[in-house]
Structures are given as C-alpha cells and as structure tokens.
C-alpha cells in the first residue's frame, strides 16, 4: 500500500507555484520545482521559501538528479497547441519541451507512481487529436495507465479557463486494483470532468491503456466577479473610461446604459480585440456579460490585459485588472506577491499558471483515494461500452 505520509511532488515548468499551492491544500508537498524563468522563480521563492526551486532549462536537466517522488507534474508550454496560436503541434517550438519531460521520467531512478500533465483544451484537437494521443501513448510506454479530464476554472472561481489534465497511474499501482471492463465503463462516466468530447476521444483511442478513477462531479462555483474586485484600486479618468465605452459594440453600450441608473454596481470584464465594427476592422472592447472574467493571459501585447468594468449609480468606470484581482481569479488570493517584481512580471506569472482549486480538487478526489488504507471499488454495474 502506498505511504500516505510520502505525498511528495516534483513540479516541472513550475512557474510561480500555483500547482504546488493547489496540491499543498490537498496535503501534498513539492520537494523539487523546475523552471528556467528567473522572475517566476523569484515569485515562487518569495511565497514558498528557497531551497527546492531549480532555475534551469529542462533540456539541460537529467532525470538521475531528480529526487524520488510520488507525483511528477508538468504544465508544459501550450504555445504551439492553443487554438489562438499557429498550432505547430507537440513537435514544434516551446511545446516540444514535453519530450524532455518524458525523457526525464525515463531517466529517474524510481518511476513516480503518478504523473499529472496540464495543458490547454486545444491539445484535444491538435493535429486532429494525434498530438494528445502521442502524449498518452508515451505515458503508456513509460508504464502508466492514463486518464483524461477537462476542468474549467469557472467551477471554482469566476474565470473561464478550460484546461485538460492527463493523469498517469503506474502499472505497479494499477496491478493492485481489480477492475473489469464493466467497472472501467462505470468509472469513466462517474463525473462531468469527463464530458462527451472526452469520452469520444477515449473511445476513438480505445487501444491505449486507460484507467478511470471514480470521481464526483465538479463543484458549482459560489463566487461571482464582484467578489474578486480590489476596492482600493484607482479607476480610470472619465475620459479614458468613455473612450472604452465608445469602442464597444452597440448592444454592449445599450446594456451599460440600462444598468447606469441602478443603485447597486454591476461588474463586467472586457478585452480589446480587432473586430469588424461599423463596417471597418478596428480595436473593439468586447464585454463579457455572463458574470465571470475571461481567461487570464500573459501581458504580452496591448490587448492582453483584461479590463474590469463597473456600472451603476449613474457611473461608468473601467480600469485594468490588477495583481490582487489576478491572484483571486486564480484561487490564490493568499499568494504572497513579491513587491520587488513589476506589475507585468506578476501578471505574467498568474496568466501562465494553473487554477489553484482545480489542482486541490484533483489532489483530493483523484490522488488521495489511492493512499487510503483500502481502495473502495463500487459494486454497481453499467451497460458495457467497448473501450
């Protein structure tokens, strides 16, 4: 039986440490973190303390130097997999760093019982699904049975942030659990973290070695955009806010006009994008009206910074989301922000990170049950789907 006390993690592409933060809430401890970015390392060390963060290019890292851990996690770069990019695929550019992670796993003195990968939903369709299949096949070749989850941060925080999580459970662990095909089918359909598009991918790739942990449905969020607002932040001048208003589509301006006379403020998020407006392509402020923020991005360009809008009491105010609000949108409101870093450095770290409560949920509901004195297997049966 796996040792409940040895819930140790090696975190690759560790960034500012939000994966470590989420897993820590589930009782896990990161003992090794790797990233080449010195600014992210400074933010990580400021929160967690120094001593286990290695600032190094993963291409130069040798698996023999990585400590034995129970879980190896990797949020490998999404640059060439996202639908917003050129989609060069798993063999191109920054996203090809996955292969160094796979190499390191193979070089480690002891295979971690668990592997967890995170990336954008675009990996599901990159090269017609072949890139994701290759990632999972590689884990199979390294001795892991695989699972696939789709988790939106909006189940936990008021931010739309869909991510794929690929779980690998080593064969030495699976061998201790007797589950027939009927049980696999039941386990696969046990949670809305495996929606139909995930099940379709699994069925299409039934020849891979799969393992499905029984999971609850994802939680229902109990926070709203207003909950993340920093009320000490300074709003733009009236002229600057008016300029943003003038950049909006007419139906968004009509919505704002209808809310202006309300006694209570309403809050919205917005991004600037190049859109066809009034017959010409121009910078357009698009308002999000479903009560949550859009996906946080790294502040690489003028339109990458998200805007928060406040309407009511005969006022229309706007400004850029700040570092406190970015932290709260990632479920990391208690993250210790390094005051020596610039605002853009801090926002880059949060925009390139993983939602904290999503990792906490995976830790508690996927990984921790393996560490209980007995692993309970439901006796219910469902009609078989050939996998």
Q: Show which residues are catalytic.
A: 78
Cα–Cα dist 228/156, whole Å: 13
Looking at beta carbons, which pairs linking 322-327 to residues 24 or more positions away fall under 8 Å?
322/230, 322/233, 323/347, 323/350, 324/230, 324/233, 325/228, 325/229, 325/230, 325/233, 326/296, 326/350, 326/351
Any idea what the Cα angle at residue 368 is, between residues 366 and 373, rounded to 5°?
A: 125
Give the sign of the dihedral formed by CA 196, CA 197, CA 198, CA 201. Answer: positive
Provide the 10 A C-beta neighbour count for residue 230: 16
For residue 114, count CB atoms less than 10 angstroms from its CB and return exposed for 0-12, middle for 13-18, buried for 19 or more: buried
What is the C-alpha end-to-end distance of the chain, expressed in Å? 28
Tokens of 171: 């064969």
């Amino acid at each position: 039986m796996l040792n409940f006390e040895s819930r140790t993690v090696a975190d690759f592409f560790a960034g500012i440490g939000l994966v470590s933060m989420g897993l820590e809430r589930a009782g896990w401890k990161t003992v090794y973190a790797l990233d080449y970015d010195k600014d992210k390392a400074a933010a990580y060390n400021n929160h967690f303390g120094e001593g286990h963060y290695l600032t190094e290019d993963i291409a130069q890292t040798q698996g023999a130097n990585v400590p034995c851990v129970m879980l190896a996690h990797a949020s490998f770069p999404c640059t060439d997999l996202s639908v917003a990019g050129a989609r060069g695929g798993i063999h191109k550019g920054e996203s090809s760093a996955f292969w160094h992670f796979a190499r390191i796993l193979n070089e480690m003195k002891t295979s971690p019982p668990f592997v967890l990968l995170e990336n954008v939903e675009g990996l599901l369709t990159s090269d017609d699904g072949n890139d994701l299949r290759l990632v999972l096949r590689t884990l199979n070749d390294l001795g892991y049975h695989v699972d696939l989850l789709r988790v939106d941060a909006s189940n936990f925080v008021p931010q739309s942030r869909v991510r794929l999580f690929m779980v690998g459970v080593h064969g030495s662990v699976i061998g201790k659990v007797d589950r027939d095909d009927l049980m696999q089918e039941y386990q696969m359909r046990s949670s809305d973290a495996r929606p139909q598009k995930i099940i379709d991918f699994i069925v299409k790739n039934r020849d891979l070695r799969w393992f499905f942990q029984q999971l609850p449905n994802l939680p229902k969020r109990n926070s709203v955009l207003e909950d993340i607002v920093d009320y000490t932040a300074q709003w733009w001048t009236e002229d600057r806010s008016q300029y943003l208003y003038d950049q909006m589509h007419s139906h968004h301006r009509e919505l704002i006009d209808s809310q202006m006379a309300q006694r209570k403020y309403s809050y919205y998020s917005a991004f600037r994008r190049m859109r066809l407006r009034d017959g010409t392509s121009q910078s357009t402020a698009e308002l999000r009206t479903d009560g949550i923020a859009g996906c946080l991005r790294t502040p690489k360009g003028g339109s990458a910074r998200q805007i928060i809008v406040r309407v009511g009491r005969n006022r229309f105010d706007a400004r850029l989301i700040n570092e406190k609000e970015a932290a709260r949108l990632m479920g990391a409101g208690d993250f210790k922000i390094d005051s020596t870093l610039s605002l853009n450095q801090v926002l880059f770290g949060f925009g390139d990170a993983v939602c904290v409560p999503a990792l906490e949920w995976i830790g508690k509901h996927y990984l921790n049950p393996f560490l209980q004195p007995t692993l309970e297997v439901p006796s219910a049966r469902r009609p078989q789907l050939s996998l």
